[in-house]
Amino acid sequence: MYLSLRDITFAKGRFALIGGVVALITMLLVLLTGLTNGLSQQNTSALERLGASQIVFSAPAEADGDPSFTESGITAAELDIWEEALGGGAVERLGVTQTRAETGTGDAQQSSSQTATSVAVFSVETDTELAPGLNVIEGRSNPRAGEVILSSVIAEDLDLAQGDTLRLSSSELTVAGVVEDEFYSHVPVVWTSTEDFEAIAHPGEDTAATALAVPASVSDLSTGALATVNDQAGTVSADTQGAFNALPAYQSERGSLLMMQGFLYGISALVVVSFLTVWTIQRTRDLAVLRALGSSRGYLVRDALTQAAIVVSLGAIAGGMAAWAGGLLIGNAVPFVLTPLTVAVPALGVVGLGVAGAALTTRRVSRVDPLLALGGN
C-alpha cells in the first residue's frame, strides 16, 4: 500500500494523465447511457404506461417475420376469437397510428395559419383498464367518444387547455384533459377512444383495431393457453417488453448505442492495461529490490492492484461527477435520463474492468527476479 501511494506521489503527471483518460471515458459512458435510456423511454413510454400483460398483433406477412405496429391490423373475426377465449372485458381493442394535430375549427381558409404538430394516437376503450398510471395535470385521463387527452408537451406547443378543440386528421375532438408526457416512437402521444379511431386512422374495411391488449388484471394466462388462442385466431402475442421489438427501428437504434457502450468499456480496460504494463516494465528493478529485501510475491501483486484501483476509482469518480453536471446542463434539450444508477453503473463498470485489466499485468510483477537487484540477468 505504501509503495503504491509513493509511486503515485512521485509520478503525479503520469498518473494524472491516465486518471484523466479514465475520467473522460467514464463521462462518455455515463452520457451515452443516459442518452440510450432517454431515447428508449421516448420510444416506448406509452407502451409501458399501458400496463398490458399481453399485446396481440396480426400475423406478419412473412412466416418468420416479426410483428409490427405499422403493419398490424386485427380483424373483427380475430377479435371475436380472443373475446370468446378470454371472456368479455379480458381483451381490449388498441388503435395506434401517427398523424398531424391541428388547432382551429377546420376552416380551409384558416388552415394555412394554424399551429400544427406531429402526434402518435393511442385509441383505447371508453371504460378501459389500460394506462391506469397516467398522471393527470388537468381534467381527466380516460377519453370518451369525441374527446382527446393530450400529453403536456402538445398542450404547450399548441397552446391548448381543457375544453379547447383539436383536429386529428378529419376529426375534431374536444380536449378533455392534459397528462404528463408519454411518447411512442419519439412522438408525443394523444389518447382517444376507439370510437374515433376509424375516422382518424382510416384503417381497412375489416380492421377492428391495430392490436389487442390484455389488461394487467388478466395475468393468469399460461403460455400454452396463449399459443392455443393465437393458433385459432392466426395472431401473435407478446408481453410489453417483447412488443417493443414491434416498434420501427427500436432494435437497431438501441443495439447501435449498446454496441458503442461496449466498445467504450473495452477501451477503458485496454487503456489501463497498456499504462500499467509500461509502468511495470519501468519499475521492474525497483520491484526486484523489494523482492531481494524479502517482500513476497503476494505483497507486490496486492500493491499493483491497489495502485490501479486508486487511479481508476479517482478517474471514474471525476468522470461521473462531470457527467452528472453535464446531464443537468443538458436538461430537456435532448432525450436524456439522469438518475443515480445512470451514473453509478458505468462508473462501477469502468472501475471493475480497470482492476480486472490491471490483474492481467500482475503476472509480470509476480515473476520479477530478485537477482536483478544484485546485477544478475
- Rounded distance between C-alpha atoms, residue 327 and residue 331, angstroms: 6
Average per-residue pLDDT in the chain? Answer: 86
Residue 5's pLDDT band, with cuts at 50, 70 and 90, is confident
pLDDT tens, 40-95? 999 999 999 998 999 999 988 777 778 899 999 999 999 999 999 887 778 999 99
Residue 373's pLDDT band, with cuts at 50, 70 and 90, is low
Span 168-195, average pLDDT? 93
pLDDT tens, 85-135? 887 778 999 999 999 999 864 444 444 445 889 999 999 998 888 888 789
Give me the pLDDT at residue 355, please. Answer: 87
pLDDT tens, 135-158? 999 999 889 999 999 999 999 999
Q: Among all chains, which residue has been given the C-alpha cell 372485458?
A: 89
Q: What share of the chain has pLDDT > 90, as a percent?
A: 46
Predicted TM-score (pTM) of this structure: 0.80
Q: Per-domain residue ranges for the chain?
A: 2-43+252-374, 60-233
Give me the pLDDT at residue 75, please. Answer: 93
Answer yes or no: is pLDDT of 164 > 90. yes
From residue 86, how far is each of 130, 132, 155, 219 by CA, in Å? 16, 21, 38, 11
Span 26-48, average pLDDT? 92
Span 157-169, average pLDDT? 91
